[in-house]
Structure 1
Amino acid sequence: MSRFTSRAGTSTSDLSKDIRIQDSPGDSISDLRFSPQADHLLAASSWDNTVKVYDINRPGNTKGVTQLGHDAPVLSCCWTSDGQRVFGAGVDKTIRMLDLGAGSQGQTTQIAAAHDEPIRSVQSFIFNQSQMLVTGSWDKTIKYWDLRQQTAIGTITCKDRVYSMSVRNDKLLVVATADRWVHIIDLTNPTTVFKTIRSPMKHETRVVSTSTDGTAYILGGIEGRCAFKHIDDKNASKDFSFKCHRHPQTSSTTDKAYAVNAISVHPVHGTSSTAGSDGTVHIWDTDNKSRVKGFAEVGAAITATDFNKNGNVFAYGVGYDWSKGYAFSKGEEERRIALHEVREDEVKTKAKR
């Protein structure tokens, strides 16, 4: 087990001035995605059956500007690379699209009845100069979609139910499934699995995110731990795992562990944020194996995060994360999206040692 060190001066960041988005979703926030083109547009999918799009640049008003409706909870959302279309997918097993170029409120279209079970993740990428989608489902498959067609153009059967996916630079897809399996796919050859491994963590994977250069990925698990893995086996000696989102207990020698719900990679500095069921966020420098900054606890679990295109705004969703199941949901938990103005000292790496 590799230990992360805390830098001198890594005090907890102040969140008291973070902006709360008006018209936040009415249920748990499942995914947050900034537009890849417009750093002020944010999409949020929710268990309230919607994907809402917010303009965070509106002075004093961050209400949703439009939304995409589903028939059941939405578990994932994404944008096309040109920032013109937003997609949602979830429990109703369909992919739906909101075209922001079609009028002030956009136009909604159902792309496909895509899977036999709920869709856990939808991601977009460019293949042979065409915009593509990839969906991962609890039916143990991932499917590829050309937006000009109603049927999948490719299917891969996974080891188990898909829990999380991450695409990087239109070339890398990492799929994390139940039972700790991880599939790595070269998107230049998308219908062939390049490598399948078992996560080095002891318990279920909850989230995966890829590094900015596409050479590595980070897995986050339910036991408050992450694993940093390289794609190329020749760099395996540099792989490591580390504890996060764990709280020491005065009455026990065992830490209380909280699930890692979200991992976001800073687009400029390449540092990684982790957010958990304990309601905290931490920024990690994986090059130097050090923690850059911690964020104060926000009163409830953090369920989703994302940096905007320029990396100067960090969005996070607060609410119940279902980690304790339906029985512990009171139906009264606060749900909100907050925006944190990122300072460079919170995310910048040091020179490599």
Structure 2
Amino acid sequence: MDNPEYKAIRYEVRCWEIHQSGTNLASQPKAAISHDHPVLCSTWKEDGTTVFSGGCDKQVKMWPLGGQPVTVAMHDAPITEIAWIPEMSLLVTGSWDKTLKYWDVRQPNPVHTQQLPERCYALSVRYPLMVVGTADRNLVVFNLQNPQTEFKRIVSPLKYQTRCVAAFPDQQGFLVGSIEGRVGVHHLDEQQQNKNFTFKCHREGSEIYSVNSLNFHPVHHTFTTAGSDGSFNFWDKDSKQRLKAMSRCNQPIPCSTFNNDGSIFAYAVCYDWSKGAENHNPATAKNYIFLHLPQEAEVKSKPRVNTGGKR
């Protein structure tokens, strides 16, 4: 049955050019491509010339900026995560079809298909470390120097569904965030297990919100969490401190990222569908992308203050 309201929906990937002059930022739309169904993930090639995007149409499009997009990857179910691995010149894709696939984008077929224990929910790469979070709280670790074999599989230290993961910049471990407003800090070395811990965040009284995005600062290696409470915070895992808590937005933050030198933190503000379509009001739920200029005091690590308490 034709639904004119459905036909009006456009699924697009848009590129914006950001101009910075001191503390002033300006954005300029440059180009856009369309997908047939919702887009769930995107990533850049390391030289900034190419964008990859995938989603519910079960394919990944490679878009050379200024050129035409071409399909370079396919799955049997929606594609939820993608990452370009410059050290291997390969694209990795994770899907709800319970597989990872590695692609040489010059070839039509994957160079390797890796079975996962469940649907892929999250993925992070810091070569040679790759961490994949799946349904049923599985966390699968790969050494990309031997990508066809799992390096380690663990059950998440968090009790509820995984939403996001972030590999440490030094490749020695990873962060995991979940729908329960909690983050786990996990080291891979068995000798470092005493450094593992979890902490609560994105909570207000009895209200608990999902942690949707984790990002390490590319210079200082502190990190941010962004959540469905509409806030983002800066943290230092080594001193176990929150460096800065930002004021809340009036809608959830479903995704966020730093630019390549950490001078800009970008985050999206929009309805996250966690309360269902019946609670979505298009008249009031506008979609925004905000840019924040992190101050050094917000992202630079500080010595730990020992208060004798526990988190």
TM-score, normalization: structure 2? 0.91
**More deviation, 315-324/49-58:** 49-58
1:223 counterpart residue number: 180
Q: In the aligned structure 2, how far is the partner of 1:142 from the partner of 1:330?
A: 36
2:10 and 2:34 in contact (8 A); partners too: no
Alignment of 1:157-168 (within 5 A): 157-168=115-126
1:90 counterpart residue number: 55
1:322 counterpart residue number: 273
Are the structure 2 counterparts of residues 322 and 48 from structure 1 closer, same or farther at C-alpha, using a change threshold of 3 Å? farther
Deviation at 1:61, TM superposition (A): 4.7
1:68 and 1:88 in contact (8 A); partners too: no
CA deviations over 1:298-340 (Å, ceiling 9, x no partner)? 1100011111111111101000112122222223311000111
CA deviations over 1:220-257 (Å, ceiling 9, x no partner)? 10010010101222211110000000111xxxxxx310
CA deviations over 1:278-315 (Å, ceiling 9, x no partner)? 00111111000010001001110001111111111110
Are the structure 2 counterparts of residues 78 and 319 from structure 1 closer, same or farther at C-alpha, using a change threshold of 3 Å? same
1:176 and 1:207 in contact (8 A); partners too: yes
Q: Give 2:292's match in structure 1, choosing from 325, 340, 345.
A: 340
CA deviations over 1:79-119 (Å, ceiling 9, x no partner)? 1122211100100000101112xxxx33211113x111000
Q: In the aligned structure 2, how far is the partner of 1:176 from the partner of 1:148?
A: 28
Are the structure 2 counterparts of residues 347 and 58 from structure 1 closer, same or farther at C-alpha, using a change threshold of 3 Å? closer
Q: Give 1:135's match in structure 2, choosing from 75, 81, 93.
A: 93
Alignment of 1:125-204 (within 5 A): 125-127=85-87, 130-168=88-126, 170-204=127-161
Q: In the aligned structure 1, how far is the partner of 2:186 from the partner of 2:162?
A: 14
Q: In the aligned structure 2, how far is the partner of 1:48 from the partner of 1:272?
A: 33
Q: Which runs of 4+ in 1 moved over 3 A?
A: 58-61
1:72 counterpart residue number: 37
1:274 paired with 2:225, answer yes
Are the structure 2 counterparts of residues 204 and 352 from structure 1 closer, same or farther at C-alpha, using a change threshold of 3 Å? same
**In structure 2, the residue corresponding to 1:160 is in which secondary structure?**
coil
Are the structure 2 counterparts of residues 123 and 235 from structure 1 closer, same or farther at C-alpha, using a change threshold of 3 Å? same
1:308 paired with 2:270, answer no
1:54 and 1:64 in contact (8 A); partners too: yes
What one-letter code is carried by the residue in structure 1 that aligns with 2:299? V
Q: In the aligned structure 1, how far is the partner of 2:40 from the partner of 2:148?
A: 24
1:259 and 1:323 in contact (8 A); partners too: no
Unaligned runs of 5+ in 1: 1-46, 249-254
Q: In the aligned structure 2, how far is the partner of 1:175 from the partner of 1:65?
A: 33
Q: In the aligned structure 1, how far is the partner of 2:169 from the partner of 2:213?
A: 16
What one-letter code is carried by the residue in structure 1 that aligns with 2:96? W
Q: In the aligned structure 2, how far is the partner of 1:48 from the partner of 1:303?
A: 19
1:123 paired with 2:83, answer yes
2:266 and 2:289 in contact (8 A); partners too: yes
Deviation at 1:352, TM superposition (A): 5.8
Deviation at 1:198, TM superposition (A): 0.4
1:68 and 1:97 in contact (8 A); partners too: no
Say which structure, 1 or 2, has more relative contact order (CA 8 Å, 6+ apart): 1
Aligned residues: 293
TM-score, normalization: structure 1? 0.80
Q: In the aligned structure 1, how far is the partner of 2:153 from the partner of 2:276?
A: 30
What one-letter code is carried by the residue in structure 1 that aligns with 2:72? I
Q: Percent identity?
A: 42
2:240 and 2:304 in contact (8 A); partners too: no
CA deviations over 1:151-178 (Å, ceiling 9, x no partner)? 111111111110010011x211100001
2:184 and 2:199 in contact (8 A); partners too: yes
What one-letter code is carried by the residue in structure 2 that aligns with 1:122? I
**In structure 1, the residue corresponding to 2:214 is in which secondary structure?**
strand
Q: In the aligned structure 2, how far is the partner of 1:285 from the partner of 1:124?
A: 27
Deviation at 1:58, TM superposition (A): 7.0
Q: In the aligned structure 2, how far is the partner of 1:80 from the partner of 1:229?
A: 28
What one-letter code is carried by the residue in structure 1 that aligns with 2:59? T
What one-letter code is carried by the residue in structure 2 that aligns with 1:342? P
1:55 counterpart residue number: 17
